[in-house]
Each structure stands twice: as C-alpha cells, then as structure tokens.
Structure 1
Amino acid sequence: MTGLPPAAGPREIYRIDWLPGTDVLHGTCHCGREHTAQDPVEMWEWMLAHPQGHATGEPRGNGS
C-alpha cells in the first residue's frame, strides 16, 4: 500500500510530443483531437480550451 488515495474516476490525458529535428510540437487531447504548433503556449491554450477549437463535431486530424 502506497498511502495514495484511489483514483476518483477517469483521468484526462493530454500528450505533447516534440518532432525530432524540427521546432514542431504535436499534441493529442484527451478527446483524441490532434494539433501541431511551434509555440508551446499556443499548444497548451488549444488543449485547455476544450471543447472550443476542437468540438466533437469537427473532423479529427491536424488542427493547424
């Protein structure tokens, strides 16, 4: 037992990968939408604005 409380339900997972050899970041939101950007602030603003900018009715893929 680690002393940590049990998970309180599903977690939202955000992922940002750096594309080696470039200045490009590739983000994947917990909803499955993807976006690329060179600016890390732009990337986080896009992810945290959910669902603005990537509502469920929009097609999946590069949001740039």
Structure 2
Amino acid sequence: MHWVPGSDRLRAVCHCSAARDFEDPVALWDWLLAHPSGHRPAVPEPTPVPAAAGVS
C-alpha cells in the first residue's frame, strides 16, 4: 500500500503487480485480500524424465 503524493488517495499493489487507487482504506484492504479470488501462484508443468539410453 502506498500514499499517492499530492492527494488523499492510497494505492494498493498486489504481489501480481495489479494496482488500484482508493480513497477508503477499508475498500483498499477488501480489494487486496480478495484480488483476485483464489489468487495463487502458477503451478509449474511437470518435466518428463528422459528414458535411459541402452536399457531394454
């Protein structure tokens, strides 16, 4: 959360880099805590294991 210089506004910044300005700190926290619903880091794709050479 950042104070916007020269204004009475607060800027919320999510860890995903989404940002939004607010006048009401309660609305700011509601947005941060719910942005976006179910917000989770991406799950990496599994890497296939190469077959061993010369094994039958």
Is this a same-fold pair by TM over 0.5? Answer: yes
Q: How big is the shift at 1:20?
A: 2.5
Question: Radius of gyration: which is bigger?
Answer: 2
Partner residue of 1:30? 15
How many correspondences in the alignment? 38
CA displacement 1:6-55 (0-9 Å, x = unmatched): xxxxxxxxxx1111221100111011100100000100100000323xxx
Q: Give the gaps of 5 or more residues in structure 2.
A: 38-56
The TM-score, its normalising length taken from structure 2, stands at 0.58
Identify which of structures 1 and 2 has the higher relative contact order when contacts are C-alpha pairs closer than 8 Å and 6+ apart: 1
Q: Give the gaps of 5 or more residues in structure 1.
A: 1-15, 53-64
Identity %: 46
Aligned Cα root-mean-square deviation (Å): 1.7
**Cα distance in structure 2, aligned partners of 1:50 and 1:37:** 14
Q: Secondary structure at the match of 1:48?
A: helix
**Cα distance in structure 1, aligned partners of 2:5 and 2:17:** 22
